[in-house]
Amino acid sequence: MIKKSRLSISTTKIIMLGFIAVIFLGSLLLSLPISAADGKPVPYIDALFTSTTATCVTGLVTVTTATTWSVFGQIVILLLIQVGGLGVITIMAGVMIALKKKMGLSDRLLIQDAFNLNTLSGLTQFIKKVLKGTVIIEGIGALLYMLVFVPDFGARGIWISVFNSISAFCNAGIDIFAENSLCDYATNPIINGVTCALVIIGGIGYIVWWDVVRVFKNFKLQKFKCLKTLSLHSKIALSVTLGLLVFGTLSFLIFEYNNPLTLKDYNWFDKFQISFFQSVTTRTAGFASIPQENLSNPSAIVSLLLMFIGGSPVGTAGGIKTVTFTVLVASAVSTVKNRDEVTLFNRNIRKQAINKAVAVAGVSFAVVFVSTVLLSAVTDKSVIDILYETVSATATVGLTRNVTAFLDIWGKLIIIVTMYLGRIGPISLALAFALRKKSKNQNIIKNPTETISVG
């Protein structure tokens, strides 16, 4: 038991220190003259900020990616995005597989903890499928992007397409062709469709991928009955994702329909696709097809909720995750109905999962609260703008109401730490909850239990 506990603790440290090492290395590379478009070294604080936002697949930037960085700098950023999206552990495992090195028990436990899996069997095949699936999806995305970007940018459009595809799949939201993100392509159905598809596929989670593939293989034999064989995790992730996308789209369509700064001048179809894109991008994608500072207050509040929830577990998205949110809601409903068990899709949820959901949400909220207070002390922006910035950083979204570019050094440091905690905190907390300290001495005196008033 002692060895297992130490191994679990080292797993948490490896993940946390692994991200720090990648961020630090990236910042050093980006601070070199060769990384800057004009050959002059970018201030280290901006290099550190860019390395953090890329590795944490957030998308908030203090300098314009398209004009500040050289091709070398952009390659560094893209590699950081890919490593951050897949995860340090996935990359490490992929390298071991490529070098044909046998993974020991400690390596397998590390992968199991990183992906929150329930078994040690088939981990090598799981990593191979994740890497292969990632390359295929990002490749298809790049080819589809080329239909628009190559005619618009010529040969450079190939590089833009590759960069944007990886950034979208990893839910990073960083682009290299404009200062206003995807606002110039707000009504382009190809750009909207490809970006939304990549974001959703990357954010839905690898476990759901293979579960859906398995079900579709049996579709010809069982028709729609095979949908019942989806795992509980997949049912929650898919249904909640769909529900949030519909909720977000309708909310933005209603609240922004007559807003002269956003949707008023567009036709109905364009209003719909812009609203849908906003609903998707708030799920930790970070691309913007309309200026976020022009959103009405109701739309901004809906965006805050969607950003905080984020995508699904074991994927490239951030936030507290759809499954966590669903477990919290189900637990609250069960309490209100005075039920002893929390049930979803006719399955009881373990108490450990409920405790983990409460802890992850609580820690994320604490990070948002502290970073909001600190950022409020160093900037004179409105509360809604600051909250938008901190929730975006904590949930690794990357959307901003024109705040990031005007941060001073203290503001940048606050957001850097917030992005890191947002990317690492919930993961580390989940791993910490996996540690079960059981004493061999069963005669330990327990503290007495006393009733308190709650609510």
- pLDDT tens per residue across span 22-79: 999 999 999 999 999 999 999 999 999 999 999 999 999 999 999 999 999 999 999 9
pLDDT at position 440, please? Answer: 44
DSSP string, 355-372: HHHHHHHHHHHHHHHHHH
Q: How far apart are CA 260 and CA 374, in angstroms?
A: 33
What integer is the mean pLDDT of 437-442? Answer: 46
| Residue 387 contacts residue 300 (beta carbons within 8 Å) | no
| Beta-ladder partners of 69 | 36
DSSP string, 7-34: HHHHHHHHHHHHHHHHHHHHHHHHTSGG
Q: How confident is the model at residue 165 (pLDDT cuts 50, 70, 90)?
A: very high
pLDDT at position 116, please? Answer: 61
Whole-structure pTM over 0.85, yes or no?
A: yes
DSSP string, 36-91: BTTSSPPPHHHHHHHHHHHHTT----SS-HHHHB-HHHHHHHHHHHHHHHH-HHHH
Q: How far apart are CA 353 and CA 139, in angstroms?
A: 36
| Residue 183 contacts residue 288 (beta carbons within 8 Å) | yes
Q: Where are the domains of the chain?
A: 2-117+125-433
Q: How far apart are CA 41 and CA 332, in angstroms?
A: 52
- Ramachandran angles phi, psi of 101, nearest 5°: -90, 135
Half-sphere exposure of 330 (CA within 13 A, CB side): 24
| Beta-ladder partners of 347 | 344
Of the two residues 88 and 341, the one the predictor is more confident about is 341
Q: Is the pLDDT of residue 100 over 50?
A: yes
Indicate the DSSP class of residue 408: -
Q: Is the pLDDT of residue 10 over 70?
A: no
- pLDDT tens per residue across span 210-236: 888 888 877 665 666 666 788 888 999
Among all chains, which residue has been given the structure tokens 């952009």?
Answer: 74
- pLDDT tens per residue across span 235-289: 999 999 999 999 999 999 999 999 999 999 999 999 999 999 999 999 889 899 9
| Residue 373 contacts residue 390 (beta carbons within 8 Å) | no
Distance of CA 261 to the CA centre of its chain: 28
What integer is the mean pLDDT of 162-166? Answer: 97
pLDDT at position 110, please? Answer: 66
Lowest mean pLDDT among 131-135, 195-199, 255-259, 413-417: 131-135
| Residue 214 contacts residue 207 (beta carbons within 8 Å) | no
Q: How far apart are CA 83 and CA 197, in angstroms?
A: 20
Half-sphere exposure of 65 (CA within 13 A, CB side): 26
Other beta carbons within 10 angstroms of residue 276's beta carbon come to 21
SS3 214: helix
pLDDT at position 436, please? Answer: 47
- Nearest to 48, CA basis, from 371, 425, 414, 318: 414
- Nearest to 399, CA basis, from 201, 180, 253, 207: 180
